[in-house]
Amino acid sequence: MDLTGYFKQAESEPVRRVLAERGLPHLYRVFEERFEVASGESSDFVWLLQTFASYQTPESIERLIRAARRPEIVGRYSWPGILRAFGAPHQLGRERVKDKRAFSALYDALLDPLPTGNIELPYLDWVNVLAREDGLLPHPFDTNAGVRRLREMIVAKPDDREGVDPVSAVAALPYIKHASRDELLALATNHSADEVRIEAGWAAAMLKKREGVALLVKYCADPRYTGLAQRYLREAELDDQIPEKIVEAPDFEALSQMSWQLRNPDEFGRVPDSISLLDTREIYWPPSQKKQRLWLVKYTYAPRGEQTKQVTGVGLVGVLYPKRMERDDADQLSVMDWYALHCCAEAQYERLANAPKEISVDAGRRLLDRK
């Protein structure tokens, strides 16, 4: 597509107006030529739909709606960005080319039937945000068909969750008035996955149900989930229910920080199956050239998906942000071995002049011995 560069680089409104008038018709023709013969995901369609979502002309919206009814032509990881381009009612006008009519045209067209396939989960997440942050109700899934689909998502077995997220389904429940809502909430509360039960606690708390508050308070005492549980209690304006004596204890906070770091999508993407304090002490730390309190936190991940064996690691807390480290010989290393290894890694990260070229116990111990 020879117009790709122009559309990507266009910043000023005069240039965008020219592209909308003279360039978009060319993209519409490309779309029509390829749409009818498309049989799978295509990067060309991703870029086309992203461009249509940016310009939001009536002709662009019409093609976005048609594509949403054939969602297999765009991967589910691309749909969130396309939908977010329409913002929400309270955001309209904050960014260029945000048109309330365009938002309404797309939103209304996707209400019935509800989207399926690759767009289903991104669409559910989008309308959940609209309900949660903008009060845009009724929720599109607040119908017999919608509630039936939410139930299918909540009870789906792990092997059947491709493109399905029980957490997203539970996140819709505070905005559902259907008679089956409490049944779905009960299913979520008794779910096998902690993440789903926490979301159920939040949903119940938002619905002013005491059992939801109790569930969130319980998870506040689990360092793997305390951050999320505390956030949900604050969102429900129940700050006074947070057990401060537990969550503010330094050792507990160190475990929580490590777990929160590990669940980052750039790390493991989920909390560890187990986490515990291996050691804490004040120690002279060469990378900072001062004595400071540090924590060593041990964590494990059981086999799951493509991960075929257990992973054991020991992270370091007390530096700028928690650092992870895994080794096959993790259980054979002493506490001081772990401090030595992390000292090497930190020295390399900080690009210290005396940073060793390789991370090893011996090199780390030499650093720690220099005071």
136-148 confidence digits (pLDDT tens):
899 999 999 999 9
Residues 328 and 282 in one domain: yes
Identify the three-state secondary structure at position 300.
Answer: strand
Please enumerate, as own/partner, the contacts of 322-325 that have beta carbons within 8 Å and a separation of 24 or more. Answer: 322/257, 322/258, 322/260, 322/261, 322/262, 322/297, 323/349, 324/258, 324/261, 324/262, 324/267, 324/299
Q: What is the mean pLDDT of residues 273-279?
A: 98
**255 lies in a domain?**
no
> If pLDDT is split at 50, 70 and 90, which confidence band does 354 have?
confident
Centre a 10 Å sphere on the Cβ of residue 141 and count the other Cβ atoms it contains.
24
Residue 146 and residue 124 share a domain: no
- Domain final residue pick, 214, 248, 282: 248
Q: What is the pLDDT of residue 97?
A: 38
Both 26 and 95 in a single domain? yes
**What would the mean pLDDT of 54-74 be, rounded to a whole number?**
91
d(CA 21, CA 66): 22
Give the pLDDT confidence of 69-96 residue by residue, as tens digits: 987 888 888 899 999 888 765 554 444 3
Distance (Å, whole) CA 343 – CA 307: 28
Domain total for the chain? Answer: 3
Q: pLDDT tens digit string along 301-326? A: 999 878 889 999 999 999 999 999 99
Q: What is the pLDDT of residues 3-43, one digit of tens each?
A: 666 776 777 778 788 888 888 999 999 999 888 877 777 77
Q: What pLDDT does 88 receive? A: 61
Query: What is the structure's pLDDT at 160?
Result: 64
Look up residue 235 and give its DSSP letter. H
The last residue of a domain, from among 133, 150, 181? 133
Query: Is 259 part of a structural domain of the chain?
Result: no
> Residues 285, 346: one domain?
yes
Rounded Cα gap, residues 86 and 95, in angstroms: 10
Looking up tokens 């989930």 gives 225
Give 163's DSSP letter: T
What global pTM score does this model have? Answer: 0.86
Percent with pLDDT over 70 in the chain: 93
